[in-house]
Structure 1
Amino acid sequence: MVDLSDFNVQAILVHTFSYKKKEDENFNLQEFLSLASTAGMKILDVITNNYKTCNAKYFIGIGKVLELEQIIKNNFVSVVLFNCILSPHQERNLTSLLQCSIIDRNQLILNIFARRARTYEGKLQVKLAQLRHLNSRLVHEWSHLERQKGGIGLRGGSGEMQLESDRRLLRKEILQVLLRLKKIENQREQSRRHRFRIGIPTVSLVGYTNAGKSTLFNAMTASHVYVEEKLFSTLDPTCRRIMYKGAHNIILVDTVGFIQNLPRGLISSFKATLQETIQSTLLLHVVDVANERFEKNINTVHYVLNSMNIRNIPMLLVMNKIDQLKKMVPRIDRDNDGYPVRVWISAQNDLGIFLLTQVINELLSNDMISYELRMPINSDLCQQLYRSQIVKEYWVEDHNYIRLKIYVSSVDWNRLLKNNKLLTDYIV
């Protein structure tokens, strides 16, 4: 894995495309340039190459390879970025010929993830993806560990080579990382079971990278999660419990953003983290409506979710960044049956957040029940109900009694009955 810890590394970018729509190719190139900028790369030149079939040896044609070699010599460049996925064979051939570091799209994203990881779990997941990537690119560089070869009068054959030793060590390290991630996954599973028992639903934010998920997370939870106008600014998942007056308490989860051609190794490595999304009660699909390609970005997110077998979880489209559109105000779009399908907001300017919370409570209110209670105004139980934030309305009858209208989930109501046997006596 190439060390990209230093910012402003000078590089040449090779962009390959195959006779697609021009706007698609321009977006693909601009997105890769954003990835390079996020990784701290300074692009000196961009070489484009159109192809019908890729070259088996170098991916690009030999003419482009020779042109690239001359540019590298003139600019003293040590890194070449390829906006494609190179095979281990092609990467070795290009490295040998050009005498510089070759980084394809997968490896660049891995380096960005390695830089963004902050928590112990995130670092383990990135390390697992890097080890799996490296394992496919080991080559036989030397043979000084070879033992005596077989021959006439000799028993056995060739001993362990350096390549075999490296692979054995890599497999051992991968296994150790998997065992550590398994412990974390078990801990997460216990937390999910606990939330399920007490009836707290989980709402996950998903969407294309840089759509504003972390900004919305901060607006809904009054948190200070790191936000930056760059791709993959959030990597490690963050969970917060939200307590709404007179409505559901929920666990809101901020997850990593998706992107076109997201490496499969990353999806499998982040299985424990994405399990929170798989087990969610509701998905909030955050969309950057100021992006001209937002519809295609929606399709990309749906494709990634389907590849993770996430198909039967209710999803609400959250159309974000309406402040960048003319004459657009917060609103709720519903289908013919009155079911909410889209909410238009601006998380940055706190526009429409109330509408979003209203729709979330509506979608999660299938098991909500309402009771009217009459009890002593100074009782401990009355104070407890207020602290639980489930009181929707109240009326003071006289100086001694008060009427409360509570709105609570069936699970929370059963828990209240378990702790307060006389609660049913106060029901009007």
Structure 2
Amino acid sequence: MIFDNEEVEGEVTRGARALVVCPDIRGRRSSQDPEARLEEAEGLALAIGIVVAEKYILPVRDVKPNTLFGEGQVQRMLSDCELAEAELVIIDAAVSPIQQRNLEDRLKRKVIDRTGLILEIFGERAATAEGRLQVELAHLDYQQSRLVRSWTHLERQRGGFGFLGGPGETQIEADRRMIRNRMAKLRRELEQVRKTRELHRKRRGRAPWPVIALVGYTNAGKSTLFNHITGADVMAEDLLFATLDPTMRAISLPGVEKAILSDTVGFISDLPTQLVAAFRATLEEVTAADIILHVRDIANPDSATQKAQVLSVLTDLGVIDGDGGESAIPMIEVWNKWDLLDEERANELGGLADSDPDIVGISAMSGQGVDDLLDRLGEMLTKGSRVHELTVPASDGQRIAWLYAHGEVLDDAEGAAEEGAPTRQVTVRLSEKEFGRFMALDA
């Protein structure tokens, strides 16, 4: 970006000192209280290596269209920036392009809003080619709204030749055209990614192993739980958005030879609309799951609000019925960080968990309660299993192996020959879903 004031040029850099301001706008409802929002904004800044030099809540009675804040509040922010030697100002709210431009002029510092900060984090963390495509698309969508006409390099360019040249197109129009063309190309590439993912899901459905998807608010402990169960080394730190790209591993469960565990991107309140659209292909993995594990940081005072945010996203994806609130996919609430609760709170929540089979209390860090969670998953996946007597040609080793891999084989004996060919009489316990998949192998 190029601004009139050269002091605010440049990108967000690690180690930069920042003033974090959370506007508490009168009349604007929020599911989180201002203190929780401020703490989350600080967490977002820390996630990208920014040093929070100062932070506070600013009550906003009347939103100023030019700067969002009142004159006195802008002066206070300027003074605090100088005292704290802050070179960056983070506004935990959606700031319009004009407001951002005017605040940068007044504060003589780079200003980024909540959306810009989350995009910076995603841009740094995306590891796969798909993730980078999604982030770039979201960034361009955000950037094109920031092309304001007050930039000095956007002077009108002459078109044509000599004295006959017309007014041509402005640099801002050229920039917008380039962004639109790049976004169109990215959408085509992401559509191909989406089709590839759909093929992979269909292939897994034919394989077919049950899929268990981890969802939850960012920093709830999904990746720590994923690593504990699978023995993988997915990035799991006490940071917001430690995981961006979906990761899958095969696991064994009681009564289930093989299942696929999928770790997904964490949810957050007021997720930028650009990212909701761009990461839809990633979140679609959840819609193909057989069971959803909703991991909650039960020690967080804002846990109930975080749960509501996650359920809202799942409703948007069609996983949860928006009217009745019923989930189309079986779901277990995993109450993580149980070891951080005090004794009184642990006893209170323990009574609730004991009375609801769809709630399991665990500590992903220490492993407390994880075995109980795996037993519960095994029960759910084998629920409704029945014993079937199946006659399979002895030469069909692939189908016989499938039964051993996906069911509990109780007996496997030589059967009567059919049309002169030897057969196997297999007695196997299969769930309704697995039996249907086995029968589909004939097709």
Q: Same fold (TM over 0.5)?
A: yes
Q: Deviations over 1:396-417 (max 9, x none)?
A: 9xxxxxx996433356557767
Pairwise CA distance, 1:145? 4.9
Contact 1:243 1:389 in 2 (8 A): no
Question: Which one of the candidate residues 146, 163, 171 is aligned to 2:157?
Answer: 146
Q: Deviations over 1:295-330 (max 9, x none)?
A: 221112112222333313332211112222336679
TM-score (norm 2): 0.80
Question: Does 1:89 pair with 2:109?
Answer: no
> Distance between the aligned counterparts of 1:410 and 1:317, measured in 2?
24
Distance change in 2, residues 1:369/1:280 (3 Å): same
Give the structure 2 partner of residue 314 of structure 1: 330
Pairwise CA distance, 1:38? 1.2
Pairwise CA distance, 1:341? 2.2
Q: Deviations over 1:151-181 (max 9, x none)?
A: xxx9896321100000000111111211221
Q: Secondary structure at the match of 1:343?
A: strand
Distance change in 2, residues 1:26/1:374 (3 Å): same
The one-letter amino acid paired with 1:3 is E
Question: Does 1:15 pair with 2:22?
Answer: yes
Q: Secondary structure at the match of 1:27?
A: helix
Question: Does 1:347 pair with 2:347?
Answer: no
Q: Deviations over 1:18-50 (max 9, x none)?
A: 468999221111111111111211122235321
Give the structure 2 partner of residue 365 of structure 1: 382
Contact 2:247 2:263 in 1 (8 A): yes
Question: Does 1:3 pair with 2:11?
Answer: yes
TM-score (norm 1): 0.83
Aligned residues with identical type, % of pairs: 34
Distance change in 2, residues 1:320/1:69 (3 Å): closer
> Distance between the aligned counterparts of 2:108 and 2:100, measured in 1?
11
Q: Which residues in structure 2 correspond to 1:168-179 (within 5 Å)?
A: 168-179=177-188
Distance change in 2, residues 1:300/1:411 (3 Å): closer
Q: Secondary structure at the match of 2:359?
A: strand
> Distance between the aligned counterparts of 2:85 and 2:368, measured in 1?
50
Question: Does 1:323 pair with 2:339?
Answer: yes
Distance change in 2, residues 1:344/1:148 (3 Å): closer
Comparing 120-129 with 14-23, which one deviates more in the overlay?
14-23
- Return 5+ residue gaps in structure 1 as ranges: 397-402, 421-428
> Distance between the aligned counterparts of 2:140 and 2:267, measured in 1?
21
The one-letter amino acid paired with 2:379 is E
Give the structure 2 partner of residue 246 of structure 1: 255
> Distance between the aligned counterparts of 2:285 and 2:426, measured in 1?
36
> Distance between the aligned counterparts of 2:228 and 2:352, measured in 1?
17
Give the structure 2 partner of residue 54 of structure 1: 63
Pairwise CA distance, 1:144? 4.6
Distance change in 2, residues 1:138/1:302 (3 Å): same
User: What is the count of residue pairs matched by the alignment?
Assistant: 403
Give the structure 1 partner of residue 5 of structure 2: none
Distance change in 2, residues 1:369/1:73 (3 Å): same
Q: Deviations over 1:371-425 (max 9, x none)?
A: 47999xxxx89995896274476899xxxxxx996433356557767989xxxxx
The one-letter amino acid paired with 1:357 is L
> Distance between the aligned counterparts of 2:122 and 2:440, measured in 1?
47
> Distance between the aligned counterparts of 1:125 and 1:69, measured in 2?
35
Contact 1:246 1:407 in 2 (8 A): no
> Distance between the aligned counterparts of 1:202 and 1:31, measured in 2?
31
Contact 2:217 2:296 in 1 (8 A): yes
Pairwise CA distance, 1:361? 3.0
- Return 5+ residue gaps in structure 2 as ranges: 2-9, 321-327, 414-424
> Distance between the aligned counterparts of 1:77 and 1:303, measured in 2?
36
Q: Deviations over 1:107-160 (max 9, x none)?
A: 1111111111111111111111111110110123335552269xxxx9896321
Question: Which one of the candidate residues 199, 205, 215 is aligned to 1:196?
Answer: 205
Contact 1:287 1:298 in 2 (8 A): yes
> Distance between the aligned counterparts of 1:105 and 1:246, measured in 2?
46
> Distance between the aligned counterparts of 2:398 and 2:130, measured in 1?
42
> Distance between the aligned counterparts of 1:214 and 1:223, measured in 2?
9
Distance change in 2, residues 1:252/1:55 (3 Å): same
Give the structure 1 partner of residue 420 of structure 2: none
Question: Which one of the candidate residues 217, 221, 228 is aligned to 2:226?
Answer: 217
Contact 1:332 1:355 in 2 (8 A): no
Q: Secondary structure at the match of 1:80?
A: strand
Question: Which one of the candidate residues 98, 118, 123 is aligned to 1:114?
Answer: 123
> Distance between the aligned counterparts of 2:85 and 2:142, measured in 1?
28
